Structure 1
Amino acid sequence: MPSEMGPLQPSAAAQKTITVIGKRIREMRKDKGMTLSQLAEASGLSSSMLSLVERGLASPSIGSLIVVAGALGRSMSDLLETESHESDIVVRSGDVTPVQAPGEVIRRVMKEDRANGVSIAVNEYAPHTSSNESALSHEGYEYGLLLDGSLTVEVGGEAHVIEAGDLISYSSRRPHRIYNHTDRMARTVWVNTDRR
C-alpha cells in the first residue's frame, strides 16, 4: 500500500481546505450509499487513511484525490473549493484558490469543464517534491506541458525526464507519478480528460 499522506502542520487556510475536502468526500460517499470499506476497495487506498481524510486529520496527495474522486464517479475539482464555472470565458488566476498537497505541490484548477470532460490546472512542484509517494492510476488521459524547470514523470514503470517546453501525454490508467528531481521550482499546465 502506498504512503498516502505527508507530515501535517498545515496553515489555518490549508486546514480549512483539508476539512472541506474531507467533508465533501464523506458526503459524496454517503450519497452513493458506499461504506468506507467499499470506497477503499474502489480507490485502492486504505480505510484508515480515508477515515482520517474524511475527518480532516490527513492531507491526501493530488494523486490520491484524483483516485478517490474517480472511485466516487466525480472529478477532483468536485472535492475542492473552486469558483470557476463552465460558462466562464475568462478565468483569472487571482480568482482561483490554490490547493497545497503534501510535499509542497501546489495545484490551481483553472477550468473544470464537465460538459467536455476536461480539467485544466497549473501545478507547481517545489524542489524534490512529487504528486504522490508511489505511482497511482485512474480513469482518463493526461497531457502535461512543462513551463519552467525539469520533472521526471514515471509512466508504467518507465521514467521520462521532461524539460521546459516539453509535452508528455499518457493514459491515466497506466500507473504514474510526477516528481521534481531538481533544486529548482517546476511549473506545468496539466490537462486531464475523462476519456476512457
Structure 2
Amino acid sequence: MKEKTPASLNDRIAQRVRDLRADRGLSLDALAVHCGVSRSMISLIERGESSPTAVLLEKLATGLGVSLASLFDEPAPAADPVARAADQLQWRDPHSGYLRRNVSPGGFESPIQIVEVLFPPKARVAYETAAREPAIHQQVWVLEGVIDITLGEEQHRLETGDCLAMVLDRPMSYHNPSRKPTRYAVVIATLPLRK
C-alpha cells in the first residue's frame, strides 16, 4: 500500500482545519490562543503550505475539540461505509517518522475511528493533550512489538496483545524502546455532549 502524496494530504488537512475553525466561529487569532499554535503557523497549515508534525496537529485538534484522526477525514461524508485497504489514507509524521493509516471510512458518520500505527524503533512523540468537549476516549491495542505510553503521571508498557484504555484529557507520550518497529491499532470514540 503506498502513501498518499504530501501535497494532497496537506490540502486535505488544510480544508479540514479551515472547515472546523469556521464551524466553531473561531478567528485565526482565537484558535491560536485556544491551542497554543501561532496564528502564522495556522495560516500556513490552512493554505496547505506546511507539512505539520503530529504534535502540531494534536494541538490543533485539541483546540478544535476533535480527535487527531478527524483532521484526515474527507471534507464530504463518505457514501460508502467500506474503506478498502488500497484506499486507506496513510500519513508519515515528519518528526518521529511514525506511519499512521486511517482504517475507518473517511467522513462516515460514526462516533468511532480506527487508526493503525507503525512506530519506528527508538522513536518518541509527546502530545500536550487536554480535555475536550465532547470527551474523546481512546484504546491502544499492540499488534506487534512493545510501546511505552505515559499518560499524565501514569506509565504503561504495552507488549503484543496488550490494550490500554484512556480518555484524552492530559499530556501523553509514546516511546518505542525496542530495536524493531511496533505496530498498534488505536480505536477512538467521541462521546456526545452531556446535557
User: Under a length normalisation based on structure 2, what TM-score does the superposition of the two structures give?
Assistant: 0.77
| Offset of residue 55 of structure 1 | 3.2
Once superposed, what is the RMSD of the aligned Cα atoms? 3.0
Alpha-carbon deviations, 1:142-193, whole Å to 9, x = none? 1000011111111013322111111111111122122222221111110111
CA separation of 1:36/1:84 partners in 2, compared to 1, >3 Å: closer, same or farther? closer
| Offset of residue 94 of structure 1 | 1.7
CA distance in 2, matches of 1:36, 1:96: 30
* Corresponding position of 2:115: 121
CA contact (8 A) 2:6 2:51 kept: no
CA distance in 2, matches of 1:12, 1:194: 26
Q: Pairwise mapping of residues 108-187 of structure 1 onto structure 2 (< 5 A)?
A: 108-111=101-104, 115-130=109-124, 132-139=125-132, 140-187=136-183
| Offset of residue 67 of structure 1 | 4.1
Q: Percent identity?
A: 26
Give the number of equivalent residue pairs.
Answer: 184
Moved more, 178-187 or 75-84: 75-84
Structure 1 residues not aligned, in runs of 5+? 1-10
Structure 2 residues not aligned, in runs of 5+? none
CA contact (8 A) 1:120 1:192 kept: yes
CA contact (8 A) 1:96 1:110 kept: yes
The one-letter code sitting in structure 1 at the alignment partner of 2:155 is: A
* Corresponding position of 1:3: none
* Corresponding position of 2:92: 100
CA distance in 2, matches of 1:138, 1:149: 29
